[in-house]
Amino acid sequence: MQRLIILAAALALPLGLQGSEATPHWDYEGPEGPQHWGELAQEFDMCSRGRNQSPIDLVGQVDTDLPEIRFDYRQPFEVNEVNTGHAIQEDVIPGNYVSWLDQRFELRQFHFHSPSEHTVGGRLYDMEVHLVHQNESGEYLVVGLVFEKGEHNEMMDQLPSFRAERGEDPAGSNFDYNEFVAQRQHYFYYNGSLTTPPCTEGVRWLVMQEPITASQQQIQHYHDLLGFDNNRPIQPRNARVVLE
């Protein structure tokens, strides 16, 4: 019996170590909610200490000629949908890029927040998608699009959970995402952070000014898949400037 206990303890040790090395648990409400993220782990420190955090309220302050965003997303655009416990996320196969200011950033994944995280002129939207890109040095560029309730959205209809619901192959979409995003060139630009722990700063945020529409049913579908609101509250802008 005693040997068994010792064996159990010996086996438990590496597991325990693994646990402490994994990303600490965090949440969107309660004692592990956004107000406490910075206290949950040393590596989440920026969530409370950072001065360039996201999301923020977007109001254009400086009217400039912002550079064109060139989308080069491959066809077919294959995605694999996962529930991370914090968002419904679409992992994409490698080979999709955007070019911005002569730099190439590769699309890693995109995911949804509902309601929106950024507000525009104080207005909260029904949903927001974040297209997360990284360059070779690992620097982030995130394209954000806010949604309002309205017309049915064709792009969303091609995402795996919608296709599965209709009895279609979840992975088989032929939707041209370039067409969907390339016509949108009016955007806000500011320097911010990841909106989830570890709240890493130095993220280039490009948030499209014009909202896109999705039906009430489509927006509800994503909210129900996750089961709760997953928007971090608005953060102070501090010394930053929002370009448009």
Q: What are the residues binding Zn ion (CB under 5 A)?
A: 130
Residue 194 CB, shortest distance to Zn ion, in Å, is: 7
In the complex, least distance from residue 63 CB atom to Zn ion, rounded to whole angstroms = 27
Tell me the residue number closest to Zn ion, measured at CB.
Answer: 130
| In the complex, minimum distance from the CB of residue 195 to Zn ion, in angstroms, rounded to a whole number | 5
Q: Which is nearer to Zn ion, 75 or 181 (CB)?
A: 181
Closest contact distance (angstroms) between CB of 98 and Zn ion is 16
d(C-alpha 52, C-alpha 123), whole Å: 21
Which is closer to Zn ion, CB of 130 or CB of 133?
130
Determine contact, residues 150/216, Cβ cutoff 8 Å. no
Rank residues 180 and 205 by Cβ distance to Zn ion and give the closer one: 205
Q: How far is the CB of 208 from Zn ion (least distance, A)?
A: 14
Determine contact, residues 132/198, Cβ cutoff 8 Å. no
Nearer to Zn ion, 130 or 237 (CB): 130
**Shortest distance (Å) from residue 69 CB to Zn ion:** 18
Cβ proximity to Zn ion, 134 vs 179, nearer residue: 134
Comparison of 76 and 196: residue with beta carbon closer to Zn ion: 196
